[in-house]
Amino acid sequence: MSAQILIVDSVATQRILMRVKMKAAQFRVAASASISDASSAIKRVRPDLVLISPQALGDSFADDVKRLRAAAGRDGIVVVAYGVSDTAQARFAALDGGADDVFPHPVDDALLLARIRSLLRLKSVTQELQMRDSTDRAFGFDDVLRPFDRLSTVVFASKDDPQIPASFLEACQGARLRLRPISAKKLLSLSQNGPHPDLVIVDARAGTQQTIDPRQLLADLRARKATRLSATMVLLDQNQKEDAAILFDLGADDVVIDQYASAELELRMTLLTERKRHHDRLRQRIRAGLDAAMTDPLTGLFNRRYIMPHLTRLAEDALTSGRHFAVMMLDIDHFKAINDRYGHDAGDSVLRDVAARLRENLRAIDLVGRLGGEEFIVAMPRTSQRQARLAADRLRQLVGDTPFQIGEDQFVSISASVGVALSDAQTVAQPRLGALCKSADTALYCAKNAGRNRIAMAPSAA
């Protein structure tokens, strides 16, 4: 299901125009004319992101944003201010008041939509980590997390000889960030063992003597362990503005166009580093609290002890959001024959590789676990019937289309069957979660009986 956007604008024509643009981008849209109306609408429609115009604000932007976030509660919202004056003072006021980003008048539609997609991806990652964190707390892992005692590290990267602008030096000093220059080549050669930068600033301005290709560098950063979780900010000149939307879609966390005052840069860098370190803390809890007790030692996937409480969290989310979640049971066909013919070491190797393929081809918010033997479970929150069907068939093909290596120059081809069940108003209730899993398991055996290497949908999801 597409994300829900709430537009808050007191000018009717602007509100209608923005609504049309968001609907054309395939978002679900609601609109309010005032902060008061928006607070009520948030409780009713539970938006993922709020677009707010200065015309709808009261005397204090910060107070209005706090009011909207309070209305959203634990669900959280992303707040983007649009149509503000194109001045350093106006942008700073919006960011300092709690906006996640700000777009001055006139608004660049392509850039705004790209930024919305970027912020929604970040929100999805945060939700996934927080959902896992709440599952950990249910198992008593509250005391695992320890606060970081170091300053955030920022690297300023350009092609060969980085020259850090004075505004960034001043901003890092104000935000107590440790800043150092680095060439792109050295950045990509950072040790996997750390320390890893919290924020990478990529100087891609055309005015610099050695221009860097930000698209290629972003892809390289995401592919390396040392930087794949680092926040990224890209610097562009005004004449490179059209590249900003593409960079957001490629994964940049922020794009700075032309010169910004040090105060605004300080806010932007603080927001990026704090968000990144918040994610680090949540990941640290998950690793420390669950690696031993909640994971399958062979595949590294979550085991049954973790899976069932997490399904409870998905059910709670489904009740809150009004969106379905899907449960899939995936079983390797004729797995016993692999053990009998090639030995248990080969069978274990196949199980590890199947787990890796499943894990690497699902969304961050999805759950994949091993129930035992050759049976795996996949849980996908906020997923429609069509999305579940397509995902199940994609996973089936991932298992069956490429042979598995079980020794030097030795490969084996396998297939998998998948059963899919979709939640409804009844099955999201705690006592019925077992019934939902049983429906997926029954669908799996229907796929087996129909000839294997296929998917089957439970009657409620067919």
Location of structure tokens 């509100």: 15
In a domain, 374, yes or no: yes
| Same domain assignment for residues 223 and 349 | no
In a domain, 182, yes or no: yes
| Same domain assignment for residues 313 and 375 | yes
| Same domain assignment for residues 169 and 309 | no
**∠ CA 245-251-253, rounded to 5°:** 85
Final residue of a structural domain among 107, 141, 173: 107
| Same domain assignment for residues 334 and 267 | no
Q: Lowest mean pLDDT: which of 13-27, 209-223, 423-437, 443-457?
A: 423-437
Torsion of CA 226, 380, 118, 187, to 10 degrees: 10
Q: What is the pTM of this model?
A: 0.64
| Same domain assignment for residues 253 and 373 | no
In a domain, 280, yes or no: yes
| Same domain assignment for residues 181 and 323 | no
Higher per-residue pLDDT: 134 or 3: 3
Phi, psi of 422 (to 5 degrees): -115, 140
Residue spans of beta strands (DSSP E) within 19-161: 28-32, 49-52, 78-84, 101-104, 153-158
Higher per-residue pLDDT: 290 or 352: 352
Percent of the chain with pLDDT over 70: 90
Contact, 420 vs 386, CB < 8 A?
no
Contact, 304 vs 426, CB < 8 A?
no
- How buried is 374 (Cβ within 10 angstroms: 0-12 exposed, 13-18 middle, 19+ buried)? buried
- Quick one: which of 333, 441, 330, 307 has its CA closest to 376? 330
| Same domain assignment for residues 425 and 355 | yes
In a domain, 397, yes or no: yes
Q: Return d(Cα 98, Cα 187) in angstroms, integer.
A: 32
Higher per-residue pLDDT: 295 or 243: 243
Contact, 169 vs 179, CB < 8 A?
yes
CATH number of the domain residue 357 falls in: 3.30.70.270
Please, what is the average pLDDT of the chain? 87
- Residue 76 in 3-state DSSP? coil
CATH number of the domain residue 234 falls in: 3.40.50.2300
Give pLDDT, residue 425. 58
Final residue of a structural domain among 241, 256, 290: 290
pLDDT at 397 over 80: yes
| Same domain assignment for residues 194 and 277 | yes
Question: Residue 414 is part of which domain span?
Answer: 304-461
- Positive or negative, the CA dihedral 281, 282, 287, 293 is positive
| Same domain assignment for residues 315 and 457 | yes
Taking only the tens place, the pLDDT of each residue in 326-358 is 999 999 999 999 999 999 999 999 999 999 999
In a domain, 218, yes or no: yes
Q: Return d(Cα 458, Cα 462) in angstroms, integer.
A: 6
Torsion of CA 375, 379, 384, 386, to 10 degrees: -20
Q: Which two tokens stand for residue 241?
A: 């503005």
Give pLDDT, residue 140. 57
> How far from the centroid of its chain's Cα atoms is residue 169's Cα?
30
Work out how many domains the chain is built from and give that number. Answer: 3
Residue spans of beta strands (DSSP E) within 33-139: 49-52, 78-84, 101-104
In a domain, 123, yes or no: no
Q: Return d(Cα 240, Cα 20) in angstroms, integer.
A: 27
In a domain, 298, yes or no: no
| Same domain assignment for residues 253 and 360 | no
Phi, psi of 411 (to 5 degrees): -130, 155
CB atoms within 10 A of CB 35: 19
In a domain, 120, yes or no: no
| Same domain assignment for residues 283 and 172 | yes
When pLDDT is averaged across residues 175-181 and rounded to a whole number, the result is 87
| Same domain assignment for residues 310 and 350 | yes
Final residue of a structural domain among 69, 90, 107: 107
